[in-house]
Amino acid sequence: MSELRTSSIETRGKPGLKRYAMVIDLRRCIGCDACMTACKAEFDVPLGVFRTWVPYKVVGVYPTVRKHFMPRLCNHCDDPPCVRSCPVGATYKVEDGGFVLQHYDRCIGCKACMASCPYNARFMLPKSRTYTDITHVVDKCTFCHHRVTQGLAPACVVTCIGRARIFGDINDPSSEVSKLVSTLPTQVLRPEEGTKPHVFYIGVDRNLSEPSRAIYNPLDVLEEDRRAFNKNHKG
């Protein structure tokens, strides 16, 4: 279960430090999007952007088909490229816990972190919001830092109807996430990027986990939507 540490920022397996992680058991996910909704409510996440999202793909040929879901979020990488690429230290990693967070008042909006995240986990907040005054800077999932530091689980984990999302300290061998990652075959997304993601999937489908497979047979209707989206959302 130990990992090869290649950079001093990595805290997996470091004694005395917590390293939070999430396990997503895709055998249990029913694609209800409750996690997306809970996250939207927890953080007043604006329209058009998501801290967590649940893409799906219909795999197979009728009648032998299955709808695969793969909830996504920031992987709170142990060696996060977003942190090293931010010129002003506005994105940083919390050593005890491994959360990758934002200094909203420091972010200049250069989008270097967005360019360097292999998972599209980051987005630009709109210029104005109704209830929250954090605007026009980069945002992302925080692993619910504010809840976890008070002993609560992240909002998406609490709300998950199938108990597909499990959260805990992977540096603690007795935690549920440690046990799952130790005893079951798990995958992380794009491991070849060297980011050491800390969201582990059980039962992932490669149609969803391989970054480029969506390009093979794009659905016409999706392409139309994509064009409309791109018109309204410029980098």
Residues that bind another protein (CB under 8 A): 50, 53-58, 81, 84-90, 106-112, 114-120, 122, 124, 136-138, 190, 193-194, 208, 210-212, 214-215, 218-219, 221-222, 225-226, 229-230, 233-235
> Which partner, another protein, ligand SF4, none, binds residue 233 by CB below 5 to 8 Å per kind?
another protein
Q: Which of ligand SF4, another protein, none does residue 30 bind (CB under 5 to 8 Å by kind)?
A: none
Min. distance of Cβ 76 from ligand SF4 in angstroms?
5
Determine, following the binding rule CB under 6 A, whether residue 70 of this chain makes contact with ligand SF4. Answer: no
Q: Of another protein, ligand SF4, none, which one does residue 235 interact with (CB within 5 to 8 Å by kind)?
A: another protein
**What residues numbered 193-232 form the site for ligand SF4, per CB under 6 A?**
195
Report CA torsion sign: 206, 54, 126, 122: negative
Rounded to whole angstroms, how far apart are CA atoms 145 and 99? Answer: 7
Q: Determine the 3-state secondary structure of 193 from DSSP.
A: helix
- Measuring CA to CA, which residue among 169, 165, 148, 147 is closest to residue 156? 165
Residues 87-126 as x/- pattern, contact with ligand SF4 by CB under 6 A:
-x-xx--------x-x----xxxxxxx---x-x-xx----
3-state class (DSSP) for residue 45: coil
Distances in whole angstroms, Cα of residue 24 to Cα of each of 30, 73, 92, 146, 232: 12, 11, 24, 21, 32
Return the DSSP state at 187.
B
Q: For residue 126, how many other CB atoms are within 10 A of its CB?
A: 13
Site map 119..148 versus ligand SF4, x via CB under 6 A: x-xx---------------x-x--------
Nearer to another protein, 54 or 94 (CB): 54
Task: Identify the CA nearest to 151 among candidates 125, 164, 169.
Answer: 169
Interface positions with ligand SF4 (CB under 6 A): 74-77, 80-82, 85-86, 88, 90-91, 100, 102, 107-113, 117, 119, 121-122, 138, 140, 195
